[in-house]
């Protein structure tokens, strides 16, 4: 399943990110963008044209970039630090820990083209460890929006949130899932579809695939609940507990290694408070082979058909 939708229905969430950022920057002169050479890949050309002195390009130097962001925050600025997610989170992880999380600075970390969006460029350019890395740190909410509406809502939320956060954005086209007036709430799951037989929890570019899987399941007489879990930290424990109670089985899908990401975070809640059978779909602890982003998701068992079939298999384990 390479193109789940017509190209016309698919939207690059980076566009919603920069449109929102530019609007916020218009209203708040303290908002600045910090980047590492990749002005184009972060879609910051428009921002630079409108606010030339507020686009702070530190060059190809990501550790420096995050440190500079922390300093700007100390000086009263609201920095959105934007870079390809593997280099932002991987290269500058200790800066994120010490300068943002531990120092509690008001730095908005924006991971662009996260997950396997850079499919063919190989594992160095994949960011399928970032949930695990950043989720391990206190004080930095981890948020993976599912469509352009939720992206815009999360970028707006971040501006008024006092403190750091990590927005995990993709460049893969995704269809709209949320109504235009959707408001982002940290730590709150969204019910994308109700159901009683099994729950599918997803976020980011997997959310619409989960919805498609639920539609397929419905045609097979299975009623699947779909939760969008943009907040990987903090988690909506209540929504997970209700899902466990109401449906008795939970399947997670993520564009991330299955070690330490969304599935692990959900499993922590399940083990602690509501044990039910679970299956975690994601990248099974390997460096991905060469392939286009959507192809890789399919290869790792996350086509809508494969998600649906994993859900059916999981249901057989219900008590």
Ligand X SMILES: Cc1ncc(C[n+]2csc(CCOP(=O)(O)OP(=O)(O)O)c2C)c(N)n1
Q: State the binding string over 91-110 for ligand X (x if CB under 6 A, else -).
A: x-------------------
Report the nearest approach of ligand X to the CB of residue 197 (Å).
45
Given another protein, ligand X, none, residue 295, with its beta carbon under 5 to 8 Å by kind, binds: another protein
Catalytically annotated residue among 22, 26, 62, 268: 62
| Alpha-carbon distance values, 258 to 149, 201, 220, 285 (Å) | 27, 13, 27, 7
Task: Write out the binding residues for another protein, residues 114-173 only, by CB under 8 A.
Answer: 118, 120-125
Choosing from 1, 63, 104, 223, the residue that interacts with another protein (CB under 8 A) is 63
60 binds ligand X (CB under 6 A): yes
56 interacts with another protein by CB under 8 A: no
Beta bridge partners of 251: 200, 279
Query: CA-to-CA distance for 90 and 174, rounded, in angstroms?
Result: 25
Q: Residue 62 catalytic? A: yes
- 36 sits near ligand X (criterion: CB under 6 A): yes
Cβ-based nearer residue to another protein, 116 or 224: 116
Can you state the angle between helices 13-27 and 148-160, rounded to 10 degrees? 30
What H or E segment, with its residue span, contains residue 49?
Answer: helix 45-50
- Beta bridge partners, 109, equal 81, 166
For residues 231-240, one letter each, b for 16 or more C-beta atoms within 10 angstroms of the residue's C-beta and e for the rest, the string is bbbebbbebb
Task: Name residue 55's beta-bridge partners.
Answer: 33
CA distance 176 to 10: 8
- Asked whether position 60 contacts another protein by CB under 8 A, the answer is yes
Among residues 37, 176, 194, 305, which is the contact residue for ligand X, using CB under 6 A?
37
Q: Is 87 in the site for ligand X (CB under 6 A)?
A: yes
Kindly tell me which of 87 and 300 has the beta carbon lying closer to another protein: 87
Residue 90 in contact with another protein, rule: CB under 8 A: yes
In the sheet with 250-257, reading across from the earlier edge strand, the strands are 190-193, 224-228, 198-202, 250-257, 278-283
Instruction: Name the one range near another protein by CB under 8 A: 57-65, 132-140, 170-178, 254-262.
Output: 57-65
CA neighbor of 92 nearest in space, from 140, 42, 134: 134
Q: Can you give the binding site for another protein, defined by CB under 8 A?
A: 37-41, 57-61, 63-64, 86-87, 90-91, 118, 120-125, 289-292, 295
Q: Report the catalytic residues.
A: 62
Q: Can you give the binding site for ligand X, defined by CB under 6 A?
A: 36-38, 60, 62, 87, 91
């Amino acid at each position: 399943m390479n193109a789940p939708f017509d190209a016309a229905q698919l939207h690059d969430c980076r566009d919603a990110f920069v449109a929102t950022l530019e609007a916020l920057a218009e209203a708040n002169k303290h908002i600045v963008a910090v980047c590492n050479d990749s002005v184009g890949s972060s879609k910051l050309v428009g921002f630079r044209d409108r606010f030339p002195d507020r686009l702070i390009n530190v060059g190809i130097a990501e550790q420096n970039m995050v440190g500079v962001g922390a300093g700007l925050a100390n000086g009263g600025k609201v920095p959105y630090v934007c870079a390809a997610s593997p280099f932002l989170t991987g290269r500058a992880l200790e800066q994120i820990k010490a300068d943002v999380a531990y120092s509690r600075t008001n730095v908005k970390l924006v991971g662009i083209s996260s997950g396997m969006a850079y499919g063919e460029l190989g594992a160095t350019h994949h960011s399928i460890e970032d949930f695990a890395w950043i989720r391990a740190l206190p004080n930095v909410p981890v948020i993976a929006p599912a469509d352009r509406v939720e992206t815009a809502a999360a970028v707006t939320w971040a501006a008024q949130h006092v403190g750091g956060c990590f927005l995990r954005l993709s460049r893969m086209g995704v269809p709209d899932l949320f109504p235009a007036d959707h408001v982002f709430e940290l730590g709150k799951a969204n019910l994308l579809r109700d159901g009683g037989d099994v729950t599918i929890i997803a976020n980011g570019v997997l959310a619409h695939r989960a919805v498609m899987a639920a539609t397929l399941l419905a045609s097979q007489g299975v009623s699947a609940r779909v939760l969008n879990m943009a907040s990987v930290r903090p988690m909506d424990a209540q929504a997970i507990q209700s899902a466990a109670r109401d449906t008795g089985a939970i399947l997670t899908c993520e564009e991330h290694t299955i070690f330490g990401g969304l599935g692990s975070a959900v499993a922590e809640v399940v083990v602690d408070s509501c044990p039910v059978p679970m299956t975690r779909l994601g990248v099974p602890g390997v460096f991905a082979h060469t392939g286009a982003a959507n192809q890789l998701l399919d290869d790792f068992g996350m086509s809508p058909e494969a998600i649906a079939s994993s859900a059916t298999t999981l249901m057989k384990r219900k008590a």
